[in-house]
Amino acid sequence: MDDGIYLISAKEWIQKTSSTNCWLIQGDTKALLLDAGLPCKGLKEYVQTLVSKDLMLALTHGHFDHAGAIDEFDEIWMHEDDIELLKGTNGLPASPFHGIIHTIDEKDTIDLGNRLLKIYRIQGHTKGSLCFLDEKSKILFSGDSIARRGFFTQVDSLPLSKYFDDLLKVETLDFNKVASCHDSYFLDKTQIYYFIHECIEGIYNPDGRWNLGKDWYLSIHRGINVEDPKYLSISILESCIDSIKEDISIWKENHKDYLQYHTIDKDTTYHDLTLWNETKEYVYKFFLCRESTWNVFSKMKVPYTSFNYIYTQFIKKQRIDYAFYTPEEMMEDPTKKDTGLFYFPANKENAPFIFLIPGGGYQSVCTAFEGIPIVKQLNEAGYTVFILQYRVRQVDLMPKPLKDAKRALSFIIKNKDYFKVNDNYAIMGFSAGAHLAGLLTTTNLGLTDIPYPKVNILCYPLIDMDLLMDNDISIKIKEAIGMNYPDEYSITKHMDITYPPTYLWQCKDDDTVSIENSFRMSKKLESLNIPYKYVTYDTGGHGLMKEHDKEADKWLDLVIEFMKGYL
């Protein structure tokens, strides 16, 4: 997983879909195994095939799925408050141990030789839960204390306020990644804020209840399934819920600054966004991307209205980002980590949706300019909006963006009940995003496992490779698409009568993508007898947010009117 770090994993004891992990950390003189996993034979023998150094075993906490093989070892290190858990508790199995137990606590360290691990205590999941910070890799090994699942019982856990306080203490430490014991990939540091916020929300609005023996637990669920990186499953003892609410009410009052949501205005800086808890995660992975993008966005005509609509309506109240590749797929191919969907639902059930693909010359994904400004109007027109983040900025890039788009659309349709949408949808693309949108509905390059859209909306589109202009963007596109076979990704070369009805618009003075593209596309549609509308504006250049012909301000009104005939 990292230099000198090994992940040893086994399938989960109940769900069978997640993992319970042991982490092996190797120094120059010693190796440390964190947790002993599920009850199984041969763990120690297997670990010693990986490292030949002296081996220590430490437990993040005393639950059976972390201590299953401890009796294979002569001695273990753990917090004294969790020793009793080895006997079994709250209906969980015991983990017999007949060796020596060394107690460790916060401020202790473990020196593996040129690798120092500092220990921190987080009382919450259990009273004696420990985290181990590897200063060399800046990875925090969190056990179950920082994870995508939380389990809180009366005996082992509560109060939650103490748990949250310990999480905030750990959040200030210098680490980049979190290695939990039930995830096969690293979590981001922002998982702490996400977990606290969703736990508090869920306490007052739980999603269900389940029982373990005689005890009933309230459950809080986020995400589609356990493979979803934003998945959360939190269980809290129902009999304690009144005291928990009282406890958390006081904690919330004392932590207003941490929990508050900010408002974006003309004086908001990029640095502000990197500091605010609720935007930390989105500064890179969402539409802000980098400081230069924010500086451009903040000077445009409608940034704050558009930004704050999304910010206040969605970041506050519900999740907006979804991964359509699994964590394992992203680990195998790191280029997939920059992909995803942003989800902005209409205020109605069973809504048609817009699959929106921003442009960026296959060098970036300009969601800030070709996505965010129009979400509100599309939502108000009754459409749920999904904005695609696809792979860019690679030599010989194709067909990766096509694969991303197809996978994303399949993901939406597969989970249409969760997203509250139906099968009727439109694809809307801008510039290079319009090129990608156009390819998706061609004969031999397009969609195969789901129905085609009811309509295509192609905004100042790149259509055919021979129409690329002589400019820097075109050079980059040639590198990305590969010009040895220019016809392969030229849209008009792959169209037939199955192509969907199409709306085209472009400004005549576009100096980035020749207007010949949309004109040629209109002629091809006409020759195939496919319904279409082709609109041009005298001035405006390339892109939505620059100064342009006032008539172009109404472009989206005309698009929505056109879509009404098909969605």
Q: Helix 432-440 to helix 400-414 angle, to the nearest 10 degrees? A: 60
Give residue-wise pLDDT tens across range 53-76.
899 999 999 998 899 899 999 999
Tokens representing 554 are: 């109404």
CA–CA distance, 432 with 550 (Å, rounded to integer) = 24
Least Cα distance to 485 among 416, 564, 398, 424 occurs for 398
Residue 409 has pLDDT above 70, yes or no: yes
Residues 6+ positions from 351 with CB-CB distance below 8 Å:
345, 382, 383, 384, 420, 421, 422
Q: Return the residue matching tokens 């006032």.
A: 550
What per-residue confidence (pLDDT) applies to 229? 74
Residue 153 has pLDDT above 80, yes or no: no
Across the range 75-80, mean pLDDT stands at 96
CA–CA distance, 427 with 99 (Å, rounded to integer) = 64
Residue 210 has pLDDT above 70, yes or no: yes
Confidence class of residue 496 from pLDDT cuts 50, 70 and 90? very high
Confidence class of residue 278 from pLDDT cuts 50, 70 and 90? confident
With a pLDDT cut of 90, the percent of the chain lying above it is: 51
Q: Return the residue matching tokens 């637990």.
A: 217
CB 20 within 8 A of CB 10: yes
Mean pLDDT, rounded, of the chain: 87
Tokens representing 553 are: 């301000």
Give residue-wise pLDDT tens across range 449-492.
899 999 999 999 999 988 887 777 777 777 777 665 567 889 99
Least Cα distance to 442 among 431, 423, 458 occurs for 458
Q: Which of 37-46, 386-395, 409-418, 433-442 has the lowest mean pLDDT?
A: 37-46
Give residue-wise pLDDT tens across range 87-129.
877 667 788 888 999 999 999 999 999 999 999 999 988 899 9
Residue 426 has pLDDT above 90, yes or no: yes
Across the range 242-265, mean pLDDT stands at 87
Residue 41 has pLDDT above 90, yes or no: no
CB 114 within 8 A of CB 140: no
What per-residue confidence (pLDDT) applies to 16? 45
Across the range 392-412, mean pLDDT stands at 92
With a pLDDT cut of 70, the percent of the chain lying above it is: 92
Q: Highest mean pLDDT: which of 231-245, 263-277, 496-510?
A: 496-510
Across the range 226-232, mean pLDDT stands at 80
CB 397 within 8 A of CB 383: no
Distance of CA 218 to the CA centre of its chain: 25
Least Cα distance to 352 among 390, 321, 324, 378 occurs for 378
Across the range 340-354, mean pLDDT stands at 93
Burial of 205 (0-12, 13-18, 19+ CB in 10 A): exposed
Which DSSP symbol is given to 314?
I
What per-residue confidence (pLDDT) applies to 267? 81
What per-residue confidence (pLDDT) applies to 168? 94
